[in-house]
Amino acid sequence: MAQYTRVSGSVGLITLQSPPVNALSAAMRQGIVDMMQRALSEPEVKSVVICGQNGIFCGGADIKEFGGQMSGPPLIPMIHAIEAASKPVVAAIEGIALGGGLELALGCHYRIAHSKARVGLPEVTLGLLPGAGGSQRLPRLIGVPAALDLITTGRHVTAAEALKFGLVDQITDHNTVNVAVKFAQRVADQPLDARRISTYPCLCPSDVAVLFEEVMQRVRRTARGAIAPIACVQAVRAAATLPYNQGMERERELMATLFTSGQARALQYFFFAQRAVGRWSMPSGARWDTSKPRPVHKAAVIGLGTMGRGITVALAQAGFSVVAVETQEKQLMEAKQAISGMLERGAKRRGVAPALDKINYGRNIQSVADVDLVIEAVFEDMALKKKVFQQLSAVCKPSTFLCSNTSGLDIDQLACQTRNPELVVGMHFFAPAHVMKLLEVVYGPKSSPLAVATAMQLGKKIGKVSVAVGNCRGFVGNRMLKPYLEQALFLLEEGATPEFVDQVLEEFGFAMGVFRMSDLSGLDVGWKVRMADGLAMPDPTTGQPTRLRQGRRYSPLGDLLCEQGRFGQKTGRGWYQYDKPGSQVAKPDPWLHSFLDEYRARHALVAHRIDHQEVLERCLYSMINEGFRILEDGIAAGPEDIDVIYVFGYSWPRHHGGPMFYAATVGLNKVLERLEHYYQAHPDVPSLQPCHLLRKLVASGRPPIQKWREVIKKVRSQL
Ligand SMILES: CC/C=C/CC(=O)SCCNC(=O)CCNC(=O)[C@H](O)C(C)(C)COP(=O)(O)OP(=O)(O)OC[C@H]1O[C@@H](n2cnc3c(N)ncnc32)[C@H](O)[C@@H]1OP(=O)(O)O
């Protein structure tokens, strides 16, 4: 775990050895304690260097240990002992020094970093704070404002930025361990008192109280109910206002609350869920580790509307050559201008040259003949998409992967239009496609593992979190959204207002409630889909909107708004009113309230008092129920896939872990019982009927989420 060698005669070199990231497990902490003691006891050793093997200093505490009983030497006394050592200790930082890894380095007397290293205190992203002295030492070393920024955001900083802050003493392009060993020899005899950060005063700006107030307000606004960022501010405030020992005591108290919190458990689950989705599998048995992707050098995007533009930018920014096709001259010119603007703004932010020369624009589909992969992003219309796939199949080389950015249409029908259906997959991006992290890679019955592996790898290369999912209407994300939206509309019919429903969902932690989100996305999008499905039609006998479709309850409220030209923000009216079209400030609309009153009267609906609990349970549990159906159907391989899709694609609050983790937290028996209750009250709403898998999981004794896959396997094998 920690290896000790003596180098250059007088330097004790402690090497952290625990792949993949040299995490500070119990065994590793014990190793460091033992090796430090050895270095301090050897009279020939005059100074010590701590480094990590394989070019990685340390990824912090071992997150896998958090759920269980912590054993081994605790971090805080271990780091204190290093700081208190009588011989200089130098941290040689290569790769990363994160969390406890950076706290360990802050306990050392000097820090030398490789120029490509990154450092940070990302504990907040795991629902924690830097609780091994980091919240007290960092502000003493780099000042309160910079420490607040790093600790409340958890962002990683480059070695150059760390040097600017004074977080590291030196950076090097050479072998960091060699440089650190030479450095350690030079400082062997120097006094250490001035190198112990815990003894530094915490230098504060004169308006420190105002600063804390402002930061606290910002953090509360953006935290969406997460408690760790607030505790991080409180811990740094303790560093600024209390002596070190009292600050450490405050850090300990705050950490104790966070460490056992449900939010920390959710965020730590989510950390591993993000990594689990990379290990994809298909019902055929094909897997990430047995399916090799084919390299993509040149890609094409067909259709340069909002989605096509974003996809083009994402590809070009990642260094791919892109052929961008739009058949209409005017639209092509507009798209070219918009894409150039997006690339220039992005490049300015990142301090690099815009990748304008990566894109070739064209009006003719023939121009994609030599590309390795095409992403079709034309209007969401099956007939149009089929035509495009026929053309692509005729034009492209036989090995070209043909992908569709459809948000829910049948991938198989598109694959059937081509010569090589095994090379067809869905690549469902989320708007804005160059910003949003999520990519659903959709495999149809004919998609080959090669095509899935290639799309997954392309997603990774353009910085997306890619999740492989099966082919069904709406795939995972939009399929689960349907019952959620449906319940929100039913709640309006029964007496709620859009403001109340949104308020409840936003208090839960969504960035936007369902109605504000619909206004932003545009109500006409779903309306067109419903019309194509024959849903948004009046009853042929009465000419009135009907509230029942094929025996199921249906709310025509959204259709009625669209008929009035209320498409949301873009028309200045939707579920809310806006000062002008395009404005983003949603205001309650008295017209809408009267419209709802009249609607209820027309349909003899008696408004009843709907409380917070009912909104949350009906919207979330119906969505979760659909999630269980998706697992049952094999559309998602595991609950992690669904949770990652919801956090990255639908602004589900990460500190609730994702809808499936949330269900596990609430208790599957409670979710089941409440769904049964609501289904009894609304027997014409099938999405409220608890699904078989949920019942099975409850009957199997509610296993932890990590064990669900075993039950899912059994349920699927019985189908
Ligand atoms: C007592 C409480 C004290 C708390 C203080 C702390 O230190 S909390 C932990 C703070 N550290 C972090 O938050 C770092 C988390 N890790 C990362 O951000 C990234 O993994 C990385 C270190 C930047 C490396 O990224 P990269 O993309 O190169 O690899 P992966 O993310 O895929 O990781 C590789 C595998 O390593 C596992 N892993 C990473 N960090 C930890 C960790 N701290 N503890 C345990 N395991 C860790 C990760 O899960 C991957 O494993 P797989 O089995 O391959 O999924």
- The CATH number of the domain holding residue 373 is 3.40.50.720
C-beta separation of 354 from 339 below 8 A? no
Q: Is the shortest distance between the CB of 132 and ligand 1 below 6 Å?
A: yes
Q: Is the CB of 459 under 6 A from ligand 1?
A: no
Instruction: Tell me the average pLDDT across 106-135.
Output: 98
Q: Is residue 602 part of a domain?
A: no
Neighbouring residues of 612: CB distance < 8 A, sequence distance ≥ 6: 504, 507
Residue 288 lies in a domain: no
Does residue 434 sit in the same domain as residue 379?
Answer: yes
- 97 in ligand 1 pocket by Cβ < 6 Å? no
Tokens read off for 352: 């690099």
CA distance 135 to 154: 12
Alpha helices in 98-227 (DSSP H): 100-107, 134-142, 144-153, 159-165, 176-186, 208-223
How far apart are the CA of 222 and the centre of ligand 1, in A? 25
DSSP 504-562: HHHHHT-SS-HHHHHHHH-HHHHHHHHHHTT-S-B-TTT-SBPSEETTEE---HHHHHH
Mean pLDDT for 637-656 is: 97
- What is the whole-number distance in angstroms between the Cα of residue 134 and the centre of ligand 1? 18
Residues in the chain: 719
Band of pLDDT at residue 68, cut at 50, 70 and 90: confident
Mutate to test the pocket of ligand 1, among 28, 57, 58, 63 (most ligand atoms within 8 A of CB): 63
SS3 annotation, 210-269: HHHHHHHHHHHHHHCCCCHHHHHHHHHHHHHHCCHHHHHHHHHHHHHHHHCCHHHHHHHH
User: What are the tokens at 600?
Assistant: 């209820």
What is d(CA 368, CA 345) in angstroms, rounded to the nearest whole number?
A: 27
Residues 467 and 533 in one domain: no
Helix 306-317 to helix 329-350 angle (10° resolution) is 40
Task: State if residue 692 touches ligand 1 by the CB under 6 angstroms criterion.
Answer: no
> What are the pLDDT digits (tens) for 424-443?
999 999 999 999 999 999 99
Q: What are the residues whose beta carbons fall under 8 Å from the beta carbon of 658, sequence distance 6 or more?
A: 270, 273, 639, 640, 642, 643, 644, 646, 647, 652
The boundaries of the domain holding residue 526 are: 514-597
Do the Cβ atoms of 264 and 228 come closer than 8 Å?
Answer: yes
Question: Is residue 342 in a domain?
Answer: yes
CB of 228 closer than 6 angstroms to any ligand 1 atom: no
99 CA to middle of ligand 1, Å?
A: 10
Residue 295 has pLDDT above 90, yes or no: yes
Task: State the amino acid at position 70 in one-letter form.
Answer: M
CA distances from 553 to 64, 91, 429, 472, 550 (A): 46, 65, 31, 22, 8
Reported as a single tens digit per residue, the pLDDT across 509-523 is 999 999 999 999 899
The residues near 245 (Cβ < 8 Å, ≥ 6 apart) are none
As a whole number of angstroms, the distance between CA 463 and CA 320 comes to 13
- Distance between CA 555 and CA 536 in Å, rounded? 9
Whether 279 maps to a domain, the answer reads: no
Mean pLDDT of the chain: 96
Confidence of residue 544 (pLDDT cuts 50, 70, 90): low
**What is the value of ipTM here, to two decimals?**
0.98
**Domain CATH number, residue 23:** 3.90.226.10
Q: Is residue 396 part of a domain?
A: yes
pLDDT (tens digit per residue) in 208-263:
999 999 999 999 999 999 999 999 999 999 999 999 999 999 999 999 999 999 99
**Confidence at residue 546, expressed as pLDDT on a 0 to 100 scale:** 78
Give CA–CA dist 614/153, Å, rounded. 34
- Please tell me whether residues 630 and 570 are part of one structural domain: no
Token pair belonging to 578:
């806006």
Report, as residue numbers or ranges, the catalytic residues: 103, 123
Average pLDDT of span 482-507:
98
In a domain? residue 59: yes
For residue 3, what are the contacts with CB-CB under 8 A and spacing of at least 6? 14, 15, 17, 35, 53
Is residue 187 helix, strand or coil?
coil
Domain membership of residue 278 (yes or no) is no
- What percent of the chain has pLDDT above 70? 99
Question: How do residues 353-376 score in pLDDT, each as one tens digit?
Answer: 999 999 999 999 999 999 999 999
* Nearest CA, atom 34, ligand 1: 20
Residue 91's pLDDT band (boundaries 50, 70, 90)? very high
Confirm whether 485 is domain-assigned.
Answer: no
99 shares a domain with 60: yes
Average pLDDT over residues 490-515: 97
SS3 label, residue 13: strand
Q: Does position 59 have pLDDT exceeding 90, yes or no?
A: yes
pLDDT at 535 over 90: no
Q: Could you tell me the two tokens for 156?
A: 């990683």
* CA–centroid distance, residue 641 to ligand 1 (Å): 19
Task: Indicate whether 580 pLDDT > 70.
Answer: yes
- CB neighbour class for 66 (10 Å; exposed up to 12, middle 13-18, buried from 19): middle
**CATH (domain of 562):** 1.10.1040.10
For residue 550, give Cα distances in angstroms to 535, 547, 631, 684, 712.
Answer: 10, 10, 26, 10, 30
- Is 99 close to ligand 1, i.e. is its CB under 6 Å away? yes
N-to-C CA span, the chain: 47
Cβ-based neighbours of 222, under 8 Å, separated by 6 or more = 229
On whether both 547 and 435 belong to a single domain, the answer is no
Domain boundary among 597, 628, 658: 597
Instruction: Give the chain's domain count.
Output: 4
